[in-house]
Structure 1
Amino acid sequence: MISTFFKKTGIALLAALSLFGVAQAEEAAKPKVLLVASSYGVAGDPKKPGMEFDEYAMAYHLLSPQLQLELASPKGGKVEVGEYNKTKSYNAAVLTHPDAMALLTNSKKLSDVKAQDYQAVLVLGGKGAMFDLAEHLPLQRLLSEMAAQQKVIAAVCHGPAALLHVKNADGSLLLQGKKVAGFSNQEETMFAKEMLPLYPFLLQDAVTKAGALYQQTGPMLPLVVQDGTLITGQNPYSTPALVDAILAQLQLSTAPRQPYPDEQAVSIIQQFLAGQPIPAQLDEKLVDIPLLAIWGYYYLQFAKADSDRQHAVQVMELVSGSFTDPQFLMALAQGQLQLGNTSRAVELAKAVLKQQPDSKAAQELLSKVKA
């Protein structure tokens, strides 16, 4: 009986080891891609920003099923990240993924990695990239060698800062004459104003100075630009499309999936601005309603022409029934008043007073209209 037990146990163990070996072989057969992050971040210090976790999470979530992923940074070790929403689906998925989190706590040192080991590299953004990636010589050498080997070089948001001083074999700058996207000056002014005095440069200005043909779309709307094997994305919301472009360049297919709620939100904004029809009713489980509200709010604050103001107000109205924050509604009321829609402005101001009876902004608007 004992021998039978050991025999059965041994067969089960051999089967398990065999399956483990098959899994290892399958993983080893996947193309290897290097993710690059900044080492600049210091936890809890807003003046020492780190990597954009959203970009890492989306990239890992979408790339890992088909690729081996490694992470490297200038200093190696733990990569600090900025503030992020843990409830977003891709963030929640990565936070519970041991392999994904292990990469963040024990990144490779860039000086220790070799170009020939990877089929592609993706430089992630976050404001920290502006402070250490552009001048990091090991990263410059790595990217130069990957360019010479005609490997895929991708960067998103502030990540293209890493490309500024990279040179081709003939000594010319990699970015010279290349179409490139990256975080725009407009986005910096709207969403990172507190960092402007601290930055060593503005990304849009710097890539243009390096000879790139800078491309951009509206603030926080997705844009991916490909020029040969160089693939760049404008902001965090460009990450999913950037991943699709990387997979396509590696001749790998993208699996059908439900767009992320924030991805769906910015897509709706793009459709609207392009004059395309958008859903009359939005499913709050599928569309990031607060993101639509915030986008309209900031777009309205920086609107210079009535056409921009009209676009912002229309996006805000799209979600005003479900997003009823008083500050948001008051901004919408002011926007409607500027456009001459007095009755709607009054309606919104009264809605604010129901929530905040002592709202001076709402009271002043109503007094102004009566006068």
Structure 2
Amino acid sequence: MKSTPCRNRLWLLAVISLFGAVQAEELVQKPKVLLVASSYGVADDPKKPGLEFDEYAMAYQLLSPQVQLELASPKGGKVEVGKYNKSKVYNTAVQADPTAMQWLAGSKKITEVKAEDYQAVLVLGGKGAMFDLADHLPLQQLLADMAVQQKVIAAVCHGPAALIHVKNKDGSLLLQGKKVAGFSNQEESMFAKEMLPLYPFLLQDGLTKAGALYQQAGPMLPLTVQDGKLITGQNPYSTPALIDAILTQLALKTAQRQSYPDERAVSLIQQFLAGQPVPQPLDEKRVDIPLMAAWGYYALQFATAEPERQQAVQVMEMVSGRFTDPQFLMALAQGQLQLGNTTRAVELAKAVLKQQPDSKAAEELLIKTKG
């Protein structure tokens, strides 16, 4: 029996309708997660910092395949972001995603969202969070409601500022006795000196004052802390592990993926600090070499004891063949000299002079060592 054109059309409509129903059912079954960002940022004003784009990009890329995401901020509308590296793989991907960028251009107001509509909330960082999230009463109420409803509450970097004044039903502070991470005082002094006079408080101090059991790893090293359904991360590099913890709490599978290059870099530094060997040579496609160089550089500048200085110099040496910025090499030369490695210090100073023949620091080191 031959199919009639009419019967074919009806069959096709039935298939399309069924496919649409399956898609709709999948959408309904996906848990909803609310991202929260600061509204404080003003474009091109370093004294009015905004959202940390890296954290937003990683959160969007790692969460969006498995959950329904929405973005909200105290004022709603456009969310300003601070300066960021547009070439990072997750940033490049999210910049090319129309939905992700539209959300930044038109976020929801915190007053427009309700706790019962979401299974989890993630408060993103960026220095702007320090200025408008802690004292925003609608956000405090939203987070308090989510805590009562046993929802997942997560925050990363400066995002935990939003949790400081949140109260439980009995009036006690939500953070009282809870293990929590967040951007440390040491990280602020190393990477945000210009903001110290402007901040209303330091995050580590604020969390501790709220009764939290504050925890931290070293500067620029990832740390994710979980206490029940409360999940916090110390800095931007903590974001991927924090996302994995959120997905696990929502009974969803964590993404099978290759580590981001910066994620791999800080992981290798932690591996080294734990006394484990770091494979050489480093793969520049898989490892963020400039980040490892920056970690060593800052660790050396702030080292207070010889073991710390040795660790910083060793990490710098791991990448010295690939990262040849004169300022970096000069710092490494001075570090080697402090450790008594004169021959290597001289070699590095001469390498600096090849790039910058007028380098007074390199000349002074050679004169001092008679190199």
Kindly report which structure 2 residues correspond to 1:191-230, keeping only aligned pairs within 5 A, or say none.
191-230=191-230
SS in 2 for 1:291: helix
Deviates more, 1:4-13 or 1:38-47: 4-13
- For residues 265 and 366 of structure 1, the distance between their equivalents in structure 2, rounded to whole angstroms, comes to 32
- For residues 61 and 5 of structure 1, the distance between their equivalents in structure 2, rounded to whole angstroms, comes to 44
- For residues 46 and 365 of structure 2, the distance between their equivalents in structure 1, rounded to whole angstroms, comes to 36
Partner of 1:273: 273
Partner of 2:189: 189
SS in 2 for 1:197: coil
Partner of 1:51: 51
Deviates more, 1:70-79 or 1:6-15: 6-15
Unaligned 5+ segments in structure 1 are none
Partner of 1:79: 79
- For residues 72 and 258 of structure 1, the distance between their equivalents in structure 2, rounded to whole angstroms, comes to 30
- After TM superposition, give the deviation of residue 147 of structure 1 in Å: 0.5
- After TM superposition, give the deviation of residue 24 of structure 1 in Å: 3.1
Partner of 1:305: 305
Unaligned 5+ segments in structure 2 are none
Q: Moved runs in structure 1, 4+ residues, more than 4 A?
A: 4-18
- After TM superposition, give the deviation of residue 28 of structure 1 in Å: 2.1
- For residues 94 and 368 of structure 1, the distance between their equivalents in structure 2, rounded to whole angstroms, comes to 51
- After TM superposition, give the deviation of residue 5 of structure 1 in Å: 8.4
| 1:51-93: CA deviation from partner (whole Å, max 9, x where unpaired) | 0000000011111111000110000011110011111111111
| Residues 1:10 and 1:320: Cα distance change in structure 2 (over 3 Å) | farther
Partner of 2:368: 368
- After TM superposition, give the deviation of residue 103 of structure 1 in Å: 1.5
- For residues 65 and 263 of structure 2, the distance between their equivalents in structure 1, rounded to whole angstroms, comes to 20
Partner of 1:150: 150
| Residues 1:340 and 1:72: Cα distance change in structure 2 (over 3 Å) | same
- For residues 326 and 31 of structure 2, the distance between their equivalents in structure 1, rounded to whole angstroms, comes to 50
- For residues 289 and 195 of structure 1, the distance between their equivalents in structure 2, rounded to whole angstroms, comes to 27
**Kindly, what percent of the aligned residue pairs are identical?**
78
- 1:336 maps to a residue whose letter is Q
Partner of 1:89: 89
- After TM superposition, give the deviation of residue 26 of structure 1 in Å: 1.3
- For residues 364 and 175 of structure 2, the distance between their equivalents in structure 1, rounded to whole angstroms, comes to 52
| Residues 1:6 and 1:293: Cα distance change in structure 2 (over 3 Å) | farther
- 1:165 maps to a residue whose letter is H
| 1:29-71: CA deviation from partner (whole Å, max 9, x where unpaired) | 1000100000000011110000000000001111111100011
- 1:196 maps to a residue whose letter is L
Kindly report which structure 2 residues correspond to 1:168-179, keeping only aligned pairs within 5 A, or say none.
168-179=168-179
Partner of 2:42: 42
- After TM superposition, give the deviation of residue 112 of structure 1 in Å: 1.2
TM-score, normalised by the number of residues in structure 1: 0.96
- For residues 327 and 20 of structure 2, the distance between their equivalents in structure 1, rounded to whole angstroms, comes to 56
TM-score, normalised by the number of residues in structure 2: 0.96
- For residues 5 and 360 of structure 2, the distance between their equivalents in structure 1, rounded to whole angstroms, comes to 81
